[in-house]
Structure 1
Amino acid sequence: MKQKRSFKFKVFRGIAIFLIIMVSTFFVYVSSYYKSSSLALDALKSDSLVTVEENGDILFKPIYNNKNIGFIFYPGAKVEASAYAPIAKEIASKGYTVVIAKMSFNLAILSPNKAENIVSKHKDINSWVIGGHSLGGVMAADYALKNNKIKGLVFLASYPKDKKDFTSNQIKVLSLWGSNDKVANLNKIKEAKNVMPSDSEFIEIEGGNHSGFGDYGYQKGDGDAFITNKEQMSDTSKSILNLLDNLN
């Protein structure tokens, strides 16, 4: 009897130690993330064209020429949501409501349906475009197939999960990547064209890299950019605005 109790105790203790190690490892992993730099922090300030509010997510609301189309953005893995504020604010200044979703532990994979709350909260928006950077784009693509209010999909250095096929979908698709990206799999980004509608746009940003889509500094393992992240974000905003304008 004592031997059985001793064995059970050793098993439970082993499981407890394993769980403690796993949880500790997870929290060490998520506690280190890429934080927003000066351009992004400046873009979080309201001005004469855009009101910026942080209440769970980050809302960029145009003051003038409000359109009934909105843009939801999923950040890249372990990147602070506000790092994408320059892109969001530029788009909002042209009349489109933009919401950057804040993810649990800065990981979109832990909040894949965050867009559901955003859509339901903004009843005045009839149509939405959803997009994301890197892992955020993967999760955004998943959600795009779940809600018929999603009319557009934007990939920034990203691509859909295997076996996701959008060819028979009426959704407008834009895919952007930097020519010097050393983080994302560029072959998979380009091959995704095979599972997208025929009118999808696939655009390489010459001289751009992976981390240039946000303002959070250099991402480990990335290639060197030959343009500034300000230039890359500006080019990105213009391409997204073109997609949004074509939905009107």
Structure 2
Amino acid sequence: MKQKKSLRFKIITGIAIFLIMIASSFFIYVSFYYKASTLALSTLKSDSVVKVEENGDILFTPVSNKKNIGFIFYPGGKVEASAYAPIAKEIASKGYTVVIAEMNFNLAVLSPNKADSIINKYKEVDTWIIGGHSLGGVMAASYAYEHNEIKGLVLLASYPQSSKDFSKSDIKVLSLWGSNDKVADLNKVKEANKLMPSSAEFIELKGGNHGGFGDYGHQKGDGDATITNEEQMREASEYIIKLLEKLQ
């Protein structure tokens, strides 16, 4: 009997140690992430054109000429949400509500349906598009695939899962990537056009890289950009604004 109890104790102890090791590894992994840099942080301030509010998610509201169209943005994996403020604020300056979603542990895969709460909260917006960078784009695509009310999809250095076929959908799609991106699988980024409507736009930003869609410094393993991330974000913003204009 004592031997059985001893064996049971050892098994339970072993399982407990194993679970603690897994939990510790996870928290160590998520504790290191890319933080927003100076340009992004300076963009988080309200001005005469765009009001900025941080309430978990980051809301960019046009002060005037406000349209009833909104853009929900899912950040890249392990990237601080505020790193994408420059793109969000530029889009909002043209009259569109923009919400950068705050993800649990900065991982969109842990909050794939975060758009639900955003859409329910801002009911004055009646037309939504969704998009994301890298892993955030993958999860944004999955959300758009499962929610017909989403009218547009923006992918930055990203692509949908192969099971998400939008080819028969009337959703507006924009896919952008940097020519010097060494993080994303650019073959998959480009080949995703097979999953998209014929009207989808696939555009390479010359000189851009993976991390240039946000302001968070150089991403490990990325290629060197020949344009500044400020230039890359401005170029991306212009293309996204053109997509939004098609929904008016």
Which interval holds the TM-score relative to the shorter structure?
over 0.9
Alignment of 1:52 onto 2:90: no
* Contact preservation (8 Å) 2:145, 2:164: no
The number of residue pairs the alignment matches comes to 248
**Paired residue for 1:76?**
76
Aligned-partner Cα distance in 1 for 2:140–2:191:
18
**Paired residue for 1:113?**
113
TM-score normalised by L of structure 1: 0.99
**Paired residue for 1:191?**
191
Matches within 5 A, 1:26-41: 26-41=26-41
Which letter does structure 2 place at the counterpart of 1:220?
A: K
Which letter does structure 2 place at the counterpart of 1:56?
A: G
* Contact preservation (8 Å) 1:78, 1:105: yes
For 2:139, what is the secondary structure of its paired residue? helix
Q: 1:94-146: CA deviations, max 9, x gaps?
A: 00000000000000000000000000111111110100000000000011122
For 2:61, what is the secondary structure of its paired residue? strand
Which letter does structure 2 place at the counterpart of 1:27?
A: F
Which letter does structure 1 place at the counterpart of 2:222?
A: D
Which letter does structure 1 place at the counterpart of 2:91?
A: I
For 1:145, what is the secondary structure of its paired residue? helix
**Paired residue for 1:209?**
209
**Paired residue for 1:231?**
231
**Paired residue for 2:101?**
101
For 1:73, what is the secondary structure of its paired residue? strand
Aligned-partner Cα distance in 2 for 1:167–1:189:
15
Kindly state the Cα deviation for residue 147 of structure 1 after the two structures are TM-superposed.
2.3
**Paired residue for 1:63?**
63
Q: 1:19-76: CA deviations, max 9, x gaps?
A: 0000000000000000000110011000000000001200000001000100000000
**Paired residue for 1:222?**
222
Which letter does structure 2 place at the counterpart of 1:190?
A: K
Runs of 4+ in 1 over 3 A off after TM superposition: none
For 2:146, what is the secondary structure of its paired residue? coil
Which letter does structure 1 place at the counterpart of 2:183?
A: V
Which letter does structure 2 place at the counterpart of 1:159?
A: Y
Alignment of 1:126 onto 2:126: yes
**Paired residue for 2:25?**
25
Matches within 5 A, 1:132-211: 132-211=132-211
Aligned-partner Cα distance in 2 for 1:190–1:68:
31
Structure 1 pair 11–24 and aligned structure 2 pair: CA distance change class (3 A): same
Which letter does structure 2 place at the counterpart of 1:85?
A: A
Aligned-partner Cα distance in 1 for 2:110–2:198:
31
Which letter does structure 1 place at the counterpart of 2:128?
A: W
Bigger mean CA deviation after superposition, 145-154 or 116-125: 145-154
**Paired residue for 1:88?**
88
- What is the root-mean-square deviation in Å for CA atoms of aligned residues? 0.5
TM-score normalised by L of structure 2: 0.99
For 1:207, what is the secondary structure of its paired residue? coil
* Contact preservation (8 Å) 1:126, 1:149: no
Q: 1:212-235: CA deviations, max 9, x gaps?
A: 000000000000000000000000
Aligned-partner Cα distance in 1 for 2:48–2:153:
29
For 1:154, what is the secondary structure of its paired residue? strand
* Contact preservation (8 Å) 1:153, 1:171: yes
Aligned-partner Cα distance in 2 for 1:40–1:240:
18
Query: Unaligned stretches of 5+ in structure 2?
Result: none
Aligned-partner Cα distance in 2 for 1:225–1:160:
25
